[in-house]
Structure 1
Amino acid sequence: MDTSPYCDSGPLAPEGREAEVPAAGGPPFAECVLCREPTEYPESAKGATLCPVCEWQEAQRTACSG
C-alpha cells in the first residue's frame, strides 16, 4: 500500500537556500477610495485606487449592469 501523501509538492526551496519571502511593508500604499484600506498601488498612482475587495465588487457591479 502506498503511504505517500496525495499532494506531495516536494521541497519549497532548493537545497542550501532559504525560500525567498517578499519584504514586509514595501512602498507606501495608496488608500482605497471606498473603504480606506491599503491597496496594491503606490501612493503616487493616479486615479481612484481601490483595494482588491472593492475592486472585485466594482467589477461585479459593472458586469451585471446591462
Structure 2
Amino acid sequence: MRDEDESDGSTGSGMEAGASEAVAECVLCRAPTEYPESHKGSTLCPVCEWREAERAACSG
C-alpha cells in the first residue's frame, strides 16, 4: 500500500503531478510548463525561466 500512496503525486515532482492534473501555461509565451495548474504564483516554461534568470544575473 505504501507504493500506491507515493505514486499519487505527493512526492513533490511537478512531472508526476502533471500526469494526473492539467499542466499550467507559461505566463509569457503560453507554452506548457512542468507545473500543475494548481501551482501558485506565476509559472514559466523552462525556456522563459532560463531567460529570466539570465536577465536577472546581468542586470547589475
The TM-score range, normalised by the shorter chain, is 0.5 to 0.7
Structure number, greater radius of gyration: 1
TM-score by length of 1: 0.61
Structure 2 residue runs without a partner (length 5+): 1-17
**Equivalent residues, number:** 43
Relative contact order higher in (CA < 8 Å, ≥ 6 apart): 2
Instruction: Percent identity, please.
Output: 76
CA RMSD, 1 decimal: 1.6
Superposition map of 1:1-66 within 5 A: 26=19, 27-66=21-60
Gaps of 5+ in 1: 1-24
**TM-score, length-normalised on structure 2?**
0.66
Q: Which amino acid aligns with 2:29?
A: C
